[in-house]
Amino acid sequence: MHPRAEEFAVESRERYGFDPDVREFPEGTKTAADAAAAIGCDVAQIASSIAVETDDGLAVVVTSGANRVDTAKVAALLDAGSASMADAGDVKETVGWSIGGVPPFCHASDVPVLVDETLLSFAEVWAAAGTPEAVFSIAPERLRELSGGRPADVKQADS
């Protein structure tokens, strides 16, 4: 297992008592479509962690792979003046993971987390486990609980 994926698994067990079944796909799971094809699930079951920058700092939006994040909705939900996609360096520094491998929890800093309400309609979703090639499955309500995330409508209207 990749060292970063192993780090995520260990941290999940130690911090949350959650033992993720991390699966790695050498062909990569960088996009939601890639992940869904590799896993064999619907793209909507991919829980993509998107870091956004607000005037109050970084936040993580865990969205369905079938949806695009509406940053105006995110800003309103977080009582921020604006929200935009975060810079890769800021993401690594704040949450401790690189873009493409950001898990929904086990962040280096306490950041607000919003969970796309679309994900809550599934029995199982798949999220990044520390690298762009590693994922794990989890019940959406458990994901919400471990991340401290607030369910919200974060999707663009045309998603």
CB 46 within 8 A of CB 125: yes
Tokens of 154: 């974060």
Tokens of 6: 């192993």
Q: Kindly indicate whether the domain formed by 3-152 is annotated with CATH number 3.90.960.10.
A: yes
Q: Hey, which residues does 21 pair with through a beta bridge?
A: none
DSSP three-state, residue 81: coil
For residue 90, what pLDDT band results from cuts at 50, 70 and 90?
very high
* Residue 71 clears pLDDT 70, i.e. is over it: yes
Q: Poorest-confidence range of 4-8, 23-27, 40-44, 80-84?
A: 23-27
- Chain segment 93-119, per-residue pLDDT in tens: 999 999 989 999 999 999 999 999 999
pLDDT value, residue 35? 87
DSSP three-state, residue 31: coil
- Chain segment 10-36, per-residue pLDDT in tens: 999 999 999 999 999 887 777 888 889
Round to whole Å and give the CA distance between 140 and 129: 15
pLDDT value, residue 159? 60
Domain-wise residue ranges, the chain: 3-152
pTM above 0.75, yes or no: yes
- Which residues neighbour 33 within 8 Å (Cβ) at sequence distance 6 or greater? 43, 65
Round to whole Å and give the CA distance between 88 and 116: 22
pLDDT value, residue 150? 97
